[in-house]
Amino acid sequence: MKVENTSTSSRPASGGRAAGFTLIELMITLVIATILLTIAVPLYLHQIRESRRTEARSALLDLAAREERYFDTNNAYTGTASSLGFSGFGSANPVGNGQYYYIASPITFSNTDNPPTFKLEADPMTGKGQDQDTDCAQFFVDSKGDETAKNSAGADTSATCWQ
């Protein structure tokens, strides 16, 4: 009885070259992947910054609504965080997902103006990634309902940032 060899060989029976990838094919694949990543990563980071801007705007509008509720009850605005349901303002007390915080000192309010006024500001936390957003570096809301923003150079970018 004759036994056949059933083992597989890395060489084809015809004696041709072994199956696999050449170094050139791998390098072309690597170049294509690098080009795709070069395009995809900045777009992804831009989308992340956009979504964080939305959260900052929502948080600032929430703070403005709290000021208005406080005014309805007390007939005056407040700059005290605990009166508005927060433990504090400033970078030690981030809001939302921790990318922004309310500025404590520029939260301005005047109960002597007729009518009383307030202006609120949210800035990005340093070192969390959102501080790299140079287009929308600061968000503002005031008692008149004006929603404004500034870029890192201090120019008005409200049309871009409050879309």
The CA-based angle 58-153-59, given to 5 degrees, is: 10
Query: If you ran DSSP here, which 8-state letter would residue 18 be given?
Result: P
Virtual torsion, Cα 67, 71, 77, 80, nearest 10 deg: -60
Q: Is there a domain that residue 14 lies in?
A: no
Q: What pLDDT, on the 0 to 100 scale, is given for residue 15?
A: 58
Q: Give domain status of residue 3, yes or no.
A: no
At residue 1, the pLDDT reads 58
User: Which tokens in the block code for residue 146?
Assistant: 């004006």
Number of H helices, E strands in the chain: 2, 6
Q: What is the pLDDT of residue 10?
A: 54
Residue 2 is assigned to a structural domain of this protein: no
pTM: 0.74
Q: Report if residue 113 sits inside a domain.
A: yes
Domain count, the chain: 1
> Do the domain assignments include residue 66?
yes
Q: Is residue 141 part of a domain?
A: yes
The answer to whether 147 and 119 are in contact (CB under 8 A) is no
Residue 152 structural domain: 23-161
Over its length of 163 residues, how does the chain's per-residue pLDDT go in tens digits? 565 655 555 555 555 667 888 999 999 999 999 999 999 998 998 899 899 999 999 999 999 999 999 999 999 898 888 999 988 899 898 988 899 999 876 577 788 888 888 999 999 999 988 998 999 999 999 999 999 999 999 999 999 999 8
Give the chain's end-to-end CA distance (angstroms, integer). 84
The answer to whether residue 116 sits within a structural domain is yes
CATH number for the domain that contains residue 76: 3.30.700
Give domain status of residue 11, yes or no. no
Instruction: Give residue 145's pLDDT.
Output: 92
